[in-house]
């Protein structure tokens, strides 16, 4: 028993199969022996019953001809015919009734054993086949039924002596002659018996030996002649309904199937249980990856376990990779934070330093303007850094989605070229141009114009940044078969080493070499560009060689805009700049931002009111009908800019409201316009843009 418990699962299963198999084999053997015994008993019973039934049927079948023979031979006129041999009487009384006797032969013989007259059917051609010696025996027995073999086959003969009607027992008078009836045992005879007995009836040789059959029971009747010798055998064959042979075959099939089942069970138990358990043991002991792949191929739970092992193995590898990346990321973040500190401190240092210098009363006007220009440029750089950080965080949070609209690509490329060309520093000897494209797009394409512009601008400005002399060019090609629109930005600048090409689109990565140390940036520009390209459903690639320049290429799906555009004629606006003395409400919770906007507006000689939150802005608009314009900060306490705007529009639906926000993304701007604001301005505020907004709004009001 202890040895049994020490066996592994597979051998326990084999032992269970073996013991179950022995039990079933004993059961099958017992059933087989019982079946043989029952088959023998039932066959004997069935044969005995069938034998009695056949004999009864055969006797019954012969009673009618026997009765006819007896009836005919107690006939006075037949006695007279045996003496007179009157042919006319024979024709009128025997020949005319031949068919009613249902036999194939009738014959009348005299006591001298000579035929007086006979009648036969078409089946019998023989003339006189009744043996003479048989008549001698019939003289004594008075009635006889026997069988004869004639050329036409076996015939059943019914013979009787002829007596007057007053001698029914044929013991008072001597016979006057002999009367015979015979019928041929042909197919019609067999068919008649088959219908009565539900059996197959046939003749066999006299010496035929009946053998037992599994599916049939056969009874043979000896057909004897007048000398009591067997002439032939009449066989009755009926299906044996209870076929024990089939039962035995089924038992053999069950045994055979059981053997196949046992072998199959053993095989698949080894394949589905033992082998997987062996693989699991190997995986747990050694972590064998080949064993994991083999276990995955197993069906059912073991395959699922193999997937779990693979997933666990992959997770372990991912954890190792994540750990490696985390360590690398820590290094990158440390480098990024140091770079961020440097990049922020550089413009801040300029802003604060030159702000201090502006306090010097001895500055000349030229120096003061130069310092202000440096402060403004540094502020712009600082805003650019912050916007990159915000944009990257929004990309990570999936808060940006493409906004597809129709775009005239040729016009877009031309405008982009003109706007970038004027920004190229004069000290750079760069030939800036557009690649010529003979296969131009007819009509507009569907894309996100803002993101497409940002991608191309980022790549072109990047190319200009790293190119001091040579060329920077861009353009597009079309692959109509694949439905791809491909943009190419090429330069003859510094180039990028092969090592940096692998990580150039990773965030916080910057090219650090002697030729690029003087260039600024956080290393987020290309990461944002790649994210935008992916957002538009495309891919970006780069090819470069140190000293020969770089080629950036990105492709996006080519989607044509088939919508019809309704052109609304624009009203030309000329700004006089003379709108003064308007009352303007500034809803702003930050004091510095309020003060800056207040000074800008008051420089145009307008009156400024202030609301420190959204609720206060609604109240002031309700109480002061002379307010001409509202600058509404989006982010405020109590009521934000959107909520305050909705309430003001209920009170003063005609009052123009301009949104001012630090949220500068396209999605934020789109939301502002969709909410119904007349316009918007982003922070940090640009004085000239504020002036343009004021002139535009007041021109519309007064026109």
Count other Cβ atoms within 10 Å, centred on residue 352: 13
Q: Residues with Cβ < 8 Å from 78, sequence gap 6 or more? A: 72, 108, 162, 176, 177, 179
Query: What pLDDT, on the 0 to 100 scale, is given for residue 573?
Result: 37
- CATH 3.40.50.720, applies to 402-557: no
Candidate CATH numbers 3.50.50.60, 3.30.450.20, 3.40.50.620, 3.50.30.50; the one for domain 68-239: 3.30.450.20
Nearest-CA neighbor of 584 among 614, 616, 621, 628? 628
Give the three-state DSSP class for 588. Answer: coil
Nearest-CA neighbor of 118 among 179, 64, 72, 70? 179
Rounded to two decimals, the pTM is 0.44
Interatomic CA distance for residues 681 and 656, integer angstroms: 14
Interatomic CA distance for residues 25 and 31, integer angstroms: 10
Query: What pLDDT, on the 0 to 100 scale, is given for residue 248?
Result: 67
Cis omega before residue 684 (within 30°)? yes
**Backbone CA torsion sign across 185, 189, 191, 196:** negative
| Alpha carbon separation from 349 to 370, 373, 500, 684 (Å, rounded) | 16, 14, 31, 18
With the CA atoms of 18, 24, 29 and 32 taken in that order, what torsion angle do they form, in degrees rounded to the nearest 10? -150
Residue in this structure with the two tokens 């640009």, named with its chain if needed: 686
Nearest-CA neighbor of 295 among 279, 311, 308, 310? 279
Query: What pLDDT, on the 0 to 100 scale, is given for residue 565?
Result: 54
Interatomic CA distance for residues 425 and 356, integer angstroms: 28
Backbone φ and ψ of 216, nearest 5°: -140, 155
Query: What pLDDT, on the 0 to 100 scale, is given for residue 340?
Result: 60
Residue-level length of the chain = 703
Cα radius of gyration (the chain): 61
Interatomic CA distance for residues 485 and 437, integer angstroms: 12
In DSSP terms, 659 is beta-bridged to: 632, 680
Q: Residues with Cβ < 8 Å from 560, sequence gap 6 or more? A: 441, 443, 444, 445, 446
Query: What pLDDT, on the 0 to 100 scale, is given for residue 333?
Result: 65
- Topology of 583-700 in CATH? Rossmann fold (3.40.50)
Query: What pLDDT, on the 0 to 100 scale, is given for residue 688?
Result: 84
Instruction: Say which CATH class 287-399 falls into.
Output: mainly alpha
In the predicted model, residues of the chain with pLDDT beneath 50 are 514-522, 566-578
Residue in this structure with the two tokens 């861009």, named with its chain if needed: 474
Query: What pLDDT, on the 0 to 100 scale, is given for residue 43?
Result: 78
Interatomic CA distance for residues 112 and 135, integer angstroms: 9
Please answer whether residues 61 and 196 qualify as being in contact, where contact means their C-beta atoms are separated by less than 8 angstroms.
yes
Q: How many CA atoms lie within 13 A of 645 on its CB side?
A: 24
| Alpha carbon separation from 646 to 96, 563, 614, 615 (Å, rounded) | 127, 33, 11, 11
Please answer whether residues 466 and 489 qualify as being in contact, where contact means their C-beta atoms are separated by less than 8 angstroms.
no
Please answer whether residues 294 and 302 qualify as being in contact, where contact means their C-beta atoms are separated by less than 8 angstroms.
no
Query: What pLDDT, on the 0 to 100 scale, is given for residue 574?
Result: 39
Contacts of 237-241 spanning 24+ positions with Cβ under 8 A? 237/199, 237/200, 237/201, 237/202, 238/50, 238/197, 238/198, 238/199, 238/200, 239/215, 240/43, 240/46, 240/213, 240/214, 240/215, 240/216
Residue in this structure with the two tokens 């965030």, named with its chain if needed: 507
- Where are the domains positioned within the chain? 1-67+243-273, 68-239, 287-399, 402-557, 583-700
Residue in this structure with the two tokens 């805003």, named with its chain if needed: 383
């Amino acid at each position: 028993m202890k040895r049994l418990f020490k066996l592994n699962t597979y051998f326990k299963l084999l032992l269970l199969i073996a013991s179950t198999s022995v039990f079933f084999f004993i059961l099958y053997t017992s059933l087989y022996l019982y079946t043989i015994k029952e088959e023998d008993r039932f066959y004997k019973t069935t044969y005995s019953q069938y034998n009695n039934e056949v004999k009864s049927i055969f006797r019954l079948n012969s009673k009618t001809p026997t009765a006819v023979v007896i009836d005919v031979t107690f006939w006075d006129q037949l006695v007279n015919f045996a003496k007179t041999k009157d042919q006319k009487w024979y024709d009128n009384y025997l020949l005319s009734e031949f068919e009613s006797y249902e036999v194939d032969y009738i014959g009348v013989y005299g006591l001298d054993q000579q035929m007086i007259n006979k009648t036969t059917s078409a089946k019998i051609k023989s003339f006189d086949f009744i043996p003479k010696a048989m008549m001698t025996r019939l003289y004594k027995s008075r009635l006889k039924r026997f069988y004869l073999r004639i050329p036409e086959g076996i015939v059943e003969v019914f013979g009787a002596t002829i007596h007057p009607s007053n001698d029914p027992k044929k013991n008072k008078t001597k016979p006057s002659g002999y009367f015979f009836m015979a019928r041929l045992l042909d197919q019609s005879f067999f068919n008649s018996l088959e219908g009565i007995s539900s059996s197959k009836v046939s003749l066999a040789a006299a010496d035929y030996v009946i053998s037992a059959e599994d599916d049939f029971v056969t009874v043979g009747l000896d057909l004897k002649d007048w000398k009591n010798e067997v002439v032939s055998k009449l066989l009755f064959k009926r299906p044996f309904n209870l076929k024990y042979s089939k039962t035995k075959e089924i038992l053999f099939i069950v045994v055979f199937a059981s053997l196949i089942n046992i072998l199959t069970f053993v095989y698949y138990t080894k394949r589905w249980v033992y082998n997987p358990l062996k693989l699991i043991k190997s995986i747990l002991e050694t972590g064998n990856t080949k064993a994991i792949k083999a276990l995955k191929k197993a069906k059912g739970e073991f395959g699922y376990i193999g997937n779990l092992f693979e997933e666990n193995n992959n997770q372990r590898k991912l954890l190792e990779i994540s750990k490696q990346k985390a360590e690398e990321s820590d290094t990158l973040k440390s480098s990024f934070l140091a770079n961020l500190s440097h990049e922020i401190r550089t413009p801040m240092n300029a802003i604060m330093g030159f702000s201090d210098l502006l306090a010097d009363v001895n500055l000349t006007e030229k120096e003061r303007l130069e310092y202000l220009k440096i402060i403004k440029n540094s502020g712009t750089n600082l805003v650019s850094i912050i916007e990159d950080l915000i944009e990257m965080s929004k990309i990570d949070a999936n808060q940006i989605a493409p906004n597809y609209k129709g775009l005239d690509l040729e016009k877009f490329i031309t405008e982009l070229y003109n706007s970038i060309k004027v920004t190229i520093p004069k000290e750079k000897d760069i030939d800036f141009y557009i690649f010529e494209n003979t296969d131009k797009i007819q009509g507009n394409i569907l894309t996100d114009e803002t993101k497409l512009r940002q991608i191309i601008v980022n790549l072109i400005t990047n190319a200009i940044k790293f190119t001091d002399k040579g060329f920077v060019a861009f353009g597009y090609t079309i692959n109509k078969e694949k439905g791809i629109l491909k943009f190419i930005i090429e330069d003859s600048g510094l180039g990028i080493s092969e090592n940096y090409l692998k990580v150039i689109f990773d965030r916080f990565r910057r090219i650090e070499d002697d030729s690029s140390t003087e260039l600024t940036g956080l290393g987020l520009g290309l990461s944002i560009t790649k994210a935008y390209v992916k957002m538009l459903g495309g891919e970006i690639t780069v090819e470069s060689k140190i000293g020969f320049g770089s080629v950036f290429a990105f492709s996006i799906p080519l989607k044509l805009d088939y919508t019809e555009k309704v052109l609304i004629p624009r009203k030309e606006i000329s700004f006089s700049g003379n709108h003064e003395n308007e009352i303007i409400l500034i809803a702003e919770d930050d004091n510095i931002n309020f003060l800056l906007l207040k000074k800008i507006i008051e420089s145009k000689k307008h009156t400024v009111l202030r609301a420190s939150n959204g609720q206060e802005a609604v109240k002031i608009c309700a109480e002061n009908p002379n307010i001409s314009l509202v600058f509404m900060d989006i982010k405020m306490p109590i009521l934000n800019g959107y909520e305050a705007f909705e309430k003001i529009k209920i009170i003063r639906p005609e009052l123009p409201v301009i949104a001012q926000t630090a949220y500068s993304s396209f999605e934020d701007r789109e939301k502002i316009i969709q909410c119904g604001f007349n316009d918007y301005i982003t922070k940090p505020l640009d004085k000239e843009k504020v002036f343009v907004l004021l002139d535009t709004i007041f021109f519309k009001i007064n026109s």
